Chain A
C-alpha cells in the first residue's frame, strides 16, 4: 500500500505512456516506486488513451510491421516535418531505441495488431496497438500493479522543492487533501499544458477560450511551469501548438479522433461574417490539415463553417456529428446563424468563378477558381446541388511544444546547461527536444516509450547511490 511517510526510491509524476514506462522500468530494477496520476482511475492514461500506434525503426519485416524502416529514413522524415528543428543526438537515440521497444512493451502485456497487408502506408513504419492506446495503458497499469508499483489517482503535484540541483520532496494534493512525498529521484512525465486555457490565453488572448482541447483535461502543465520557474531550461516555442479544424460541436475536452473533419478540400469555408478567408484547395489535405486550427483561431469568435453540397457529402470521413442540412443556402445560413445575404453572395461569387476541370480527389486536379480572392486552387466544384450541408469548425488543440531541456540520460538541465542531480523528464514534457515543430504520426509514443524507459533506468541508479 501507498505509504507517504516512507522515502520512495523513485517518484513518477504523470500517468500516461512515458510515466508508466518509467515506473515499470524502475520497479523492475527493484526500486520502490510511487506513481502520481492527476486523473481518476477511469480517465487515467493522459493523451496516450487517444493514441493508436508508435513509430518503430526496424531492419526487416516482423509479424506486425511490413518491409523495413531504417534509422536514416526515420531521421529524414523527422527533419522534413520539423524543418530541422530537432536535437539530432536525442532524435537518433529515440529512433535507435524505438527498435528495441516492441519486445519490452510485449513483456508489459502490450498487444499489437498483425500487419495489415495492402495499401495502408503506416503499416510499414508504425506498430498499431490492439485496442488502441487505452488498452495499452490498461496493460501497463495492470503490469505496474502486479509488480508492486504504488499508484495514487486523483493526485496532483503542486510544487517540487529544490535544494540546489536536487529535489528532495514534493507537495501534492491527494483527492484535494494536501500531502508531501519524499523521494530519492523524480521522473516528471506529466505532459504539456494544452488543457490549461488560462496559460494558452497568455499567447492567444481571449481567443483561447474558444479553443477545444482534443485530449485529456488533466494536461494542465502545472509541473512544467513549476520546473521552468525554478530555473530549468525550456525547449520549444511556448506559443506554438498543434491545432486542427475539428467539429465545433465537440466536447470542450477529450473529443479525440472522432471529432476530426476532412471536409475542407471538398467545401468552401466561411467565417462568422459569411466570408471566405483561405484557399481551401491549396495542397493535398495531409499537408494542410494542421494549419487549419490556427487559421480558425484568427477568425472572429474562432469559428468557421464548411459549406458543401450533396455531391461532396460522401467524399470524406464524417465526424461523429451529423452535418447541418438545408435545401437552400439561406436555410443553411439560418441554422448556422450566419448573415444569409452574405453567405448567398459568397457562394454565388464562388460558383461563377469556378472553372470547369477534371475533378480528382486523389491528386492536385485542374478544378480551380478564377478571379476569386482568396482563390480555391484545387477541387473547386460549384456548390449547386441541394441539399446543402455544413460542418461548423473550431480550432482543436492536440498538444503544445513547450517542454524542458533534457540530456541523453533524460536528466533535466538547468538554465546554463548544468544537469540536475535527480530530476528526469519523459514524454510530452520533453518531446519538444526532438519534435520542435510539426507532427509525425506515432513519434510522441516513441519518444514517451524510449525516454520513459531511460528515465526509469537512470532514476533507479540514483536510488542505488
Chain B
C-alpha cells in the first residue's frame, strides 16, 4: 500500500476507516498548517470516512442522513419521545404515566408487554440487518471476499484489535488525544463506553431470558444479574460519553472537521441519555415518577436503535472491516515478504 503512487476510491475508504484518528501524523508532520501545503490528514480522513458512511449505507436512499447527521439523530429522538408517550397513553390511558406501579409487571402497566417486545424485536432486527448490509457493501468495495469472512484465523487479530483498541495505545505510550502530548485518555473512555454498552446489552439479554424461559417478570431487585449488569454498564457509558465529549471539546480543533462534530455529539449524547435515564429509572422506580421515566428511557433506547445504522455508530463496523483487511494483508505480507 505504501508503495502505491495513485489511490482508488476503495483504497481511500479502506485507509480512512483504518485510521483511528489518533492525530499523531498531524503533530509529526512538518507540512501541517500553517505550512503552505496545509496537510491535515486527520481532518481529510474524517471527511472521507463520513463520505464512506453515506456510500455504504443500506438502503442507499438513506445515504443523505450522513450529510447533517446531528440534526437527523435529534429529530428521530424527538419523534421517538412523542411516539412512546402516545403509545403509553393510547394503550394504558394518560393516567398510568403518573400513577405508582409496584411489583411484578409494573413496567407493563405503562407500556404493554406485547408492544414493548414487538417494537424492540423489529427495531433491533432491522438495525442488525442494515449494519450487516453496510459492512458487506464496504467489504466488497475494498476488495474483500465472502470466503475471507468465514476464516477464523483472519478474525483473530482483528477481534483482539477491536476489543483492546490496541491502535489507540500507540504502542504503549498512548496517542495525541488532546494536543501533541501523548495520553491513553481516549482509549480508556472508549473502553468505558464500549464495555458499558455491552454490559447493558447483556443486562437486557439476561432479562429477556428470565422473562421468556424462567417467567421471572421485571422489575428485578437491585441485587440481580440484569440490574447489576445494567447499573455498572450505565455508569460506564456515562463516564465514557462524558470523557469522549470532553476530549472532543477541549482538544485541539485544527485536526478535526467542525462539520462532523454534530454527528459525534448527537450519538454520544443519545447514548449518555439512554444510560442516564435508565439509572434514574432504577433509583425512582418505586415512586410516581416511574411512568414518565420509563417512557423517557424507552424513547431514548428506541431512538438509539433506529439511528444505529445511520449514525456515527457505524464507525465501529467499518473500522472492524478495515482492521480485518489489514490483518489479512499483514499475514500475506509476512508470508511473502514484500520487497
- Which residues of A are in contact with B by a Cβ distance under 8 Å? 40, 42-43, 49-50, 111, 118-119, 131-135, 138, 142, 251, 254, 256, 258, 314, 318, 320
Q: A131-B24, A142-B180, A142-B181 are in contact. Are A251 and B36 (CB under 8 A)?
A: yes
Q: How far is it, in angstroms, between the C-alpha of A144 and the C-alpha of B174 when the chains are bound?
A: 20
- Chain A CB within 8 A of B30 CB: yes
Cβ contacts under 8 Å, A318 to chain B: 5
The reply to whether A138 and B27 contact each other, CB–CB distance below 8 Å, is yes
The reply to whether B34 and A111 contact each other, CB–CB distance below 8 Å, is no
Q: How far is it, in angstroms, between the C-alpha of A314 and the C-alpha of B6 when the chains are bound?
A: 12
Among residues of B, the one whose C-beta sits closest to the C-beta of A256 is B30
Which chain B residues (23-40) contact chain A, with CB distance < 8 Å?
24-25, 27-31, 33-37
Q: How far is the CB of B27 from chain A (nearest CB, A)?
A: 6
The reply to whether A256 and B28 contact each other, CB–CB distance below 8 Å, is no
The reply to whether B27 and A43 contact each other, CB–CB distance below 8 Å, is no
Among residues of A, the one whose C-beta sits closest to the C-beta of B180 is A138
Q: How far is the CB of A196 from chain B (nearest CB, A)?
A: 20
The reply to whether B27 and A134 contact each other, CB–CB distance below 8 Å, is yes
The reply to whether A134 and B28 contact each other, CB–CB distance below 8 Å, is yes
Q: Find B28's partner among A118, A131, A314 (CB 8 Å cutoff).
A: A131
- Chain A CB within 8 A of B173 CB: yes
Which one of B33, B35, B36, B173 has the highest number of Cβ atoms from chain A below 10 Å of its Cβ? B35
Q: How far is the CB of A113 from chain B (nearest CB, A)?
A: 10
Show 25 A/B contacts (Cβ-Cβ < 8 Å), sorted by A: A42-B33, A42-B34, A43-B34, A49-B30, A50-B30, A118-B337, A131-B24, A131-B28, A132-B28, A133-B30, A134-B27, A134-B29, A135-B24, A135-B28, A138-B181, A142-B180, A251-B36, A254-B30, A254-B35, A256-B30, A256-B31, A258-B31, A314-B5, A318-B5, A320-B37
The reply to whether A135 and B5 contact each other, CB–CB distance below 8 Å, is no
Cβ contacts under 8 Å, A111 to chain B: 173
- Which residues of B are in contact with A by a Cβ distance under 8 Å? 5, 24-25, 27-31, 33-37, 173, 180-181, 337, 339
Among residues of B, the one whose C-beta sits closest to the C-beta of A215 is B30
Q: How far is the CB of A81 from chain B (nearest CB, A)?
A: 25
Cβ contacts under 8 Å, B339 to chain A: 119
Q: How far is the CB of A115 from chain B (nearest CB, A)?
A: 15
Q: How far is the CB of A242 from chain B (nearest CB, A)?
A: 18
Cβ contacts under 8 Å, A132 to chain B: 28, 30
Q: Find B30's partner among A119, A134, A142, A314 (CB 8 Å cutoff).
A: A134
Cβ contacts under 8 Å, B337 to chain A: 118
Among residues of A, the one whose C-beta sits closest to the C-beta of B339 is A119
Among residues of B, the one whose C-beta sits closest to the C-beta of A117 is B337
Cβ contacts under 8 Å, A133 to chain B: 30
Cβ contacts under 8 Å, A138 to chain B: 27-28, 180-181
Q: How far is it, in angstroms, between the C-alpha of A254 and the C-alpha of B33 when the chains are bound?
A: 12
Q: How far is it, in angstroms, between the C-alpha of A221 and the C-alpha of B49 when the chains are bound?
A: 45
Q: How far is it, in angstroms, between the C-alpha of A138 and the C-alpha of B24 when the chains are bound?
A: 11
- Please provide the 4 A-B residue pairs with the shortest distance between their CB atoms, ordered closest to farther: A131-B28, A135-B28, A138-B180, A49-B30
Cβ contacts under 8 Å, A134 to chain B: 27-30
The reply to whether A135 and B35 contact each other, CB–CB distance below 8 Å, is no
Q: How far is the CB of A108 from chain B (nearest CB, A)?
A: 13
Cβ contacts under 8 Å, B30 to chain A: 49-50, 132-134, 254, 256
Cβ contacts under 8 Å, B24 to chain A: 131, 135
Q: How far is the CB of B41 from chain A (nearest CB, A)?
A: 13
Q: How far is the CB of B233 from chain A (nearest CB, A)?
A: 36
Q: How far is the CB of A78 from chain B (nearest CB, A)?
A: 27
Q: How far is it, in angstroms, between the C-alpha of A43 and the C-alpha of B35 when the chains are bound?
A: 8
Q: How far is it, in angstroms, between the C-alpha of A258 and the C-alpha of B36 when the chains are bound?
A: 13
Cβ contacts under 8 Å, B31 to chain A: 256, 258
Among residues of B, the one whose C-beta sits closest to the C-beta of A142 is B181
Among residues of B, the one whose C-beta sits closest to the C-beta of A111 is B173
Among residues of A, the one whose C-beta sits closest to the C-beta of B254 is A42
The reply to whether A135 and B27 contact each other, CB–CB distance below 8 Å, is yes
Q: How far is the CB of A431 from chain B (nearest CB, A)?
A: 20
Q: How far is it, in angstroms, between the C-alpha of A318 and the C-alpha of B27 when the chains are bound?
A: 24
Q: How far is it, in angstroms, between the C-alpha of A118 and the C-alpha of B339 when the chains are bound?
A: 9
Cβ contacts under 8 Å, B25 to chain A: 131
Q: How far is the CB of B47 from chain A (nearest CB, A)?
A: 20
Q: How far is the CB of B153 from chain A (nearest CB, A)?
A: 23
Cβ contacts under 8 Å, A258 to chain B: 31
Q: How far is it, in angstroms, between the C-alpha of A42 and the C-alpha of B5 when the chains are bound?
A: 30
Q: How far is it, in angstroms, between the C-alpha of A40 and the C-alpha of B34 when the chains are bound?
A: 10
Cβ contacts under 8 Å, A251 to chain B: 36-37
Q: How far is it, in angstroms, between the C-alpha of A111 and the C-alpha of B30 when the chains are bound?
A: 17
Q: How far is it, in angstroms, between the C-alpha of A118 and the C-alpha of B25 when the chains are bound?
A: 25
Known contacts A132-B28, A138-B28; 16 additional CB pairs below 8 A are A40-B34, A42-B33, A49-B30, A119-B339, A131-B24, A131-B25, A131-B27, A133-B30, A135-B24, A138-B181, A142-B180, A251-B36, A254-B35, A314-B5, A318-B5, A320-B37
